[in-house]
Structure 1
Amino acid sequence: MYIVPESLARDLVSQEAATEAIETVFAAMAREEARNFPVVRETLGHADAVYGFKSGFDRAGKVLGLKSGGYWPGNADRGLTNHQSTNVLFDPDTGRPYALVGGNHLTAVRTAAASAVSIRHLARPDARVLGLIGAGHQSGFQLKAAAAQRRFEKVLCWNIDPDLLSTPAKAAEDIGLPFEAVDRDMLGAEADVILTITSCFEPLLMKHQVKPGTHIACMGTDTIGKQEVDPALVAAATVFTDEVAQATVLGECQHAFAAGLLAAEAITPLGRVITGAHPGRTDIDEITLFDGTGVGLQDLAVADVAVRLAVAQGATLTVDM
């Protein structure tokens, strides 16, 4: 079995490589060549932790496996990342496990890759202002991945605590983009693309705050009850997602769907745009919204990239099974 530890996965898998892998697997999902299996997510009743796993099979890429892990809120006090995950890949021909891959960094880049792919296919070509709601660990990954998709001229950011903007501010500085902390009204009025990446359970961005032609990528809602934007905004947008069944249950769409404001049939898998089966944006004033719920096939796609690069460079650890 190949072992690709966290530190090696971080060094090997670039954001660009992750973005290409996610675009490819979304297309495979749309062609029904890849599918996700039901998600398991449970509270442990220990350490206030939530544990689960996501799994799936990409028949086109011959990638089978699962990501196991969850959220341990006390880890920060131990000098560890609160989100912990590990990917296990299996040989689809025999069922034998062949790779164990650290998943913390890969989770961050695959999440940013999904929003980047949505920007690539749905944002207006003339988008110049990037807006960011949220300033946690994921915000830096999101900002850099998004910036590679359009010729943005500046970044506007709002966070619940304005004193905690150092992560996205540093990411903007790294790539040479002016960064400005603003209120939500200004962000919505100026931003051509808005990324939401929080852990909130209430709407932070309202319909009246968003201008025509905006593309929104909602990346923080991945659990029943979480919420980042106004359900009326979701209902008014042309909505895309990674997986429709998941979006209506635990994604940003869940609230508009439950209120009867949005039908499942009105939500389009982003992979259909990638393959050309759906036109995507059809009007310059159209508001498009991507509900990035996070699916197991994303994790498997980037884990496979990590293994392939590690093997090619002779950098893997190996153990007999």
Structure 2
Amino acid sequence: MLVVPEALIADLVSAEDAFAAVEATFAAMAREDAYNFPVVREALGEGRQYGFKSGLDRAGHLLGVKSGGYFPGNADRGIPNHQSTVFLFDPDSGQLKALVGGNLLTALRTAAASAISIDRLARADARVLGMVGAGHQSAFQMRAAARVRKFDKVVGWNYHPEMLPRLAETAAELGLPFEAVSLEEMGAQADVIVTITSSNAPSVMDAHIRPGTHLACMGTDTKGKQEVEAAILARARVFTDEVAQSVSIGEAQHAIAQGLIAEGDITPIGAVINGTAPGRQSDDDITLFDGTGVGLQDLAAADVAVRRAVERGMASDVAL
């Protein structure tokens, strides 16, 4: 069994690597060459969440599982609130092949999915990026978005305004001006809005969103979570990483429950990548990507890390 520790991931997997791996995974899913297994997700109390995401990619010859969750008390311990480990198995024999640190990989693959949606669905002339959420993953989201569109400005909002300097610092790193705004002002200015919170109540409301906006909703991955008002999905053309997760644990769970949309109204982003379904069809379309986070994203990113580690002699081989 190969071991690739968390400390090596930054040197092994770039944001560009994650983008390519996740895009290939979404395409394989749409071709039905890959599929995810049902998600196990449990609330442990005090805001803690733990679960498993797993799947099989026949095209990529990948089988595995990511174990991890969200532990809000970790900030006081000096470690990330999100904790993850990826296990890769040989799909032919079932033998454990690799154990990979998954914290940075999770941030990279989540940001990659958001960026893929922006690349494929946002207006070509999008110039203002809106950020809802200023937690650990927000910097990864902003950097990934800036790789696929030439933004002129970033506007941001967070439940806890004292955290907004994190967004300002990342924007400055990218050479972009930053402005803290109300949600009403964000809707009026932003061409692309990325939501990356752990909220159980919507912050972005239907009245905030104007025609032509693209939303990448990346925080809702559990029953009960919600970042945007369900009425937005009724106005939007809705895309997702996986329809089954979108309707059960994603933003669409609420719109489905209210009868505002049906499962058939949601398009897998992989179908857009493969050219079998249209993406944005007009500059007035509101497009929304329901990024629930699928296990196959984690396996694809972890596979990159393992292959690079082997090439560079950085992986430890441990007998189990």
What TM bracket, shorter-length normalisation? over 0.9
Aligned-partner SS, 1:137 = coil
Aligned residue in 1 for 2:170:
171
Which sits farther off after the overlay, 105-114 or 311-320?
311-320
* In structure 2, C-alpha distance between the alignment counterparts of 1:162 and 1:206, rounded to whole Å: 19
Is 1:31 matched with 2:20?
no
- Partner amino acid, structure 2, of 1:34: A
Q: Which residue of 1 aligns with 2:76?
A: 77
In the TM superposition, residue 44 of structure 1 has moved relative to its aligned partner by 4.4
User: Match for residue 315 of structure 2?
Assistant: 316
Asked if structure 1 preserves the Cα contact closer than 8 Å seen for 2:3 and 2:98, the reply is yes
Q: Which residue of 1 aligns with 2:59?
A: 60
- The alignment partner of 1:229 has SS state of coil
| 1:235 paired residue number | 234
Quote the Cα distance in structure 1 between the aligned partners of 2:57 and 2:29.
Answer: 8
Question: What letter matches 1:315 in structure 2?
Answer: M
Task: Report how far residue 206 of structure 1 moved.
Answer: 1.3
**2:118 alignment counterpart:** 119
SS at the partner of 1:189?
A: helix
Correspondences of 1:263-302 after superposition (within 5 Å) = 263-302=262-301
- For 1:159, the equivalent position in structure 2 comes to 158
**Map of 1:40 onto structure 2:** 40
Judged with a 3 Å threshold, the aligned counterparts in structure 2 of structure 1 residues 38 and 130 are, in CA distance, closer, same or farther, namely same
TM (norm. structure 1) is 0.97
Distance 2:139 2:237 in 1: 27
Question: How far did residue 76 of structure 1 move?
Answer: 2.3
The normalised TM-score by structure 2 is: 0.97
| Secondary structure of 2:98's aligned partner | strand
Q: CA deviation at 1:75?
A: 2.2
In structure 1, the gaps of 5 or more residues are: none
Deviation at 1:40, TM superposition (A): 1.0
Q: Would you identify which runs of 4 or more consecutive aligned residues in structure 1 move more than 3 Å?
A: none
Deviates more, 1:145-154 or 1:159-168: 159-168
Higher mean C-alpha displacement, 92-101 vs 269-278: 92-101
- Structure 2: give runs of 5+ residues left out of the alignment: none
| 2:19 paired residue number | 19
- TM superposition shift of 1:173: 1.2
User: Is 1:150 matched up with 2:144?
Assistant: no
* SS in structure 1 at match of 2:260: coil
Q: CA deviation at 1:103?
A: 0.3
SS at match of 1:88: strand
In the TM superposition, residue 92 of structure 1 has moved relative to its aligned partner by: 1.2
Query: What is the number of equivalent residue pairs in this alignment?
Result: 320
TM-superposed deviation, 1:82: 2.0
- 1:223 aligned residue: 222
Cα distance in 2 for partners of 1:239, 1:123 equals 12
Which string of whole-angstrom CA distances, capped at 9 and with x for unpartnered residues, describes residues 174-194 of structure 1?
A: 111111111111111111100
